[in-house]
Amino acid sequence: MTQLTTLSGTSPSRFAFGTMQFGGKADETASRALFDACRAAGIRHFDTAHVYTGGASETLLGQCAAAEREALFIATKAGYVGGSSRDNILTTFGISQKRLGMDVIDLLYLHRFDDDTPLEETFETLAGLQTSGKIRYIGVSNFAAWQVMKAQAVAARFDTRIDVIQPMYNLVKRQAEVEILPMCASEGILAVPYSPLGGGLLTGKYAGGRAGGRAGRLTEDERYGARYGQPHMHDSAQALVDLAEDVGSDPATLAVAWVSYHASRPVPILSARSAEQLRPSIDGMRYPMDDDLYARISALSATPPPATDRLEEA
């Protein structure tokens, strides 16, 4: 498995923090409080993207990280808008560097797969950034397993490799268990999954099966409303609330601890709008998960069938 290191040579924490809310739902003061809460909890791995909050996310993260840059692990993403062509990667990465105020970015992800650009062009560009010392690791986000392996073969031609993948993964979105997480374990790729709380669904705030007017991503963002709108997902969320009450914990704490306990040992990306909202997820970093509780939580949602769909052999 890929062992990431900071510029100072230390290993990042087993959890990361996503700054998608910096400069959006979290203003400058709230963003600083979130960053400080993460550092107090031992988090050194911070994730952003060129497109987040019109660039404010990168700018605010850069300001927060400046005083201890070499002790931190900073990731950003390119190619969500405009594709993964050489020109787009170099242009947007240059802007990201300026916003972050950093000569070296630890990890650069391709934000999504680009069908319209040859992988050779993309990975020659990334390899050049790596060779020049502007990036240290290459990652991909929202790729299918076959896309990762296809890209990995191309990356090898340029003497580099994909070290990290950022998939969606949580108790009600478990598709990554079918091929992505097994691929990571087999090929030494680190999984850094986003949305361990299912857009807030697994915090319990929408308990009862419907959003019910509660403020949050499921009511404020049509994409999240569609992504987590299935009744069975709300049933699982309610069951998690009930289980959390039974074991004397918070559903968000259990949701985070459950993701991190997977056998492939992924690094969940925590996120929140405020330090107070973040607290249950921080607690998940230290929660004493065991095999029995992991199995109880897993049973609250359907395990996806294997890739071959031969359930009798699973």
Catalytic-role residue among 52, 80, 109, 228: 52
Phi, psi torsion values for 179, nearest 5 degrees? -130, -35
User: Taking CA 140 as the corner, what is the angle to CA 139 and CA 143, rounded to the nearest 5 degrees?
Assistant: 155
Residue 71's CB: how many other CB atoms inside 10 A?
15
Task: Return the HEC string of 79-129.
Answer: CCCCCCCHHHHHHHHHHHHHHHCCCCEEEEEECCCCCCCCHHHHHHHHHHH
Catalytic annotation present for 52: yes
Residue 182 in tokens: 């097994």
DSSP notation for 195-219: -TTGGGGGGTTTTTSS-TT--SHHH
Q: Tokens 């660039």 sit at which residue?
A: 55
Residues forming beta bridges with residue 105, ordered by sequence position = 135
- What is the rounded distance in angstroms from the CA atom of residue 106 to the CA atom of residue 114? 22
* 215 to 17, 194, 200, 275, 295: CA distances (angstroms): 22, 21, 10, 17, 31
What would the DSSP string read from start to end of 232-281?
Answer: HHHHHHHHHHHHHHHHTS-HHHHHHHHHHTSTT----EE--SSHHHHHHH
Strands 73-78 and 164-166: unpaired
Alpha carbon 197 to its chain's center: 11
Give catalytic residue positions: 52
